[in-house]
Amino acid sequence: MALGIFDSGIGGLTVFKSIATRFPKLDMIYFGDTARVPYGNKSPETIVRYTLECTKHLVDNYKIDALVLACNTASSHALKTLHDEFHIPVLGVIDAGVKNAVDVSSNRKVAVIATHATIKSKSYNKVFQLMNADIDIVSLPCPLFVPLVEEALIDGDMVETIVRETLKPIKNIGIDTIILGCTHYPVLKSVIAKVIPNVNIVDSTTYIVTDVLDLNINLEESGVRKILITDESHAFNSLKNILVGDIDVEVIKL
């Protein structure tokens, strides 16, 4: 038995790392659909279909006892379907990001940056509403951030220009907190902080650890870790090494 972690690509390794560090004895298996990334510009139907296929592979072949959907796009569109289809707890990452923002924002003005598909789903707005959080929310799609990260382009002049130009609409509008509403974006956190200084930059990785505790799974196993990907894409190894270091990787066909 192990905890499964799913993402469209390699961005979810930021969530994997956060959980793995906190629970060193937890068995964890990561699934990155690197052959079909990005998900964030795809239609809801395709996002749900791909997420189901990948989850089925984890459930059938690795007997996972719970799943973290470490992809905001998949969490926005596929969470309900996964709950209906599989008899294991499935944890999305939207709630954790919202809790974090509600905790740190002083002036109650928050920006959510995410993929087109996440923004269109209004999933963040819905969770803010459910929490009765009296917060002004501004949403901004950042469609080039996932390609940047998947290409391991994570610093330098060009990256800074892309981040600056993309975030221009939320600069100087009085927000005090930015939610990184995509698990790829924490990789660009230092560039984002440079471009928009003096705001809280939050993501789901802090609170997801508490949510994992609530799953009541066995946290004291052998600490086995494995990464499955659907394609060894160009920049995979360099980015994997930056994010999580030396972990066994297997390429599978779906």
**Residue position matching structure tokens 């809790």:** 99
Collect all residues with Cβ–Cβ distance below 8 Å to 233 and sequence separation of at least 6. Answer: 9, 34, 35, 37, 150
Minimal distance in Å, beta carbon 35 to a copy of itself?
Answer: 5
Catalytic position from the list 182, 188, 196, 239: 182
- In the chain, the amino acid numbered 139 is S
User: Closest CB to a copy of itself among 19 and 149?
Assistant: 149
User: Closest CB to a copy of itself among 89 and 143?
Assistant: 143
User: Closest CB to a copy of itself among 76 and 177?
Assistant: 76
Smallest Cα–Cα separation from 74: which of 96, 54, 88, 57?
54
Cα dihedral sign for 209, 69, 215, 23?
Answer: negative
Minimal distance in Å, beta carbon 79 to a copy of itself?
Answer: 20
- In the chain, the amino acid numbered 154 is I
* DSSP output for 87-132: SS-EE-SHHHHHHHHHHH-SSSEEEEEE-HHHHHHTHHHHHHHHTT
Minimal distance in Å, beta carbon 143 to a copy of itself?
Answer: 5
Distance CA(250)–CA(61), nearest Å, equals 13
User: Closest CB to a copy of itself among 43 and 61?
Assistant: 43
Residue ranges in contact with a copy of itself by CB under 8 A: 35-36, 38, 41-43, 46, 49, 116-117, 143-144, 147-148, 150-151, 153, 157-158, 161-162, 165-166, 230-235, 251, 253
Is 142 annotated in the active site? no
**Residue position matching structure tokens 């005090």:** 176
Distance CA(254)–CA(33), nearest Å, equals 9
Residue pair 227/248 in contact (Cβ under 8 Å)? The answer is yes
User: Closest CB to a copy of itself among 96 and 148?
Assistant: 148
**Residue position matching structure tokens 């459930």:** 59
Minimal distance in Å, beta carbon 152 to a copy of itself?
Answer: 10
Is 71 annotated in the active site? yes
Distance CA(78)–CA(75), nearest Å, equals 6
Catalytic position from the list 48, 69, 71, 244: 71
User: Which residues are marked as active site?
Assistant: 71, 182
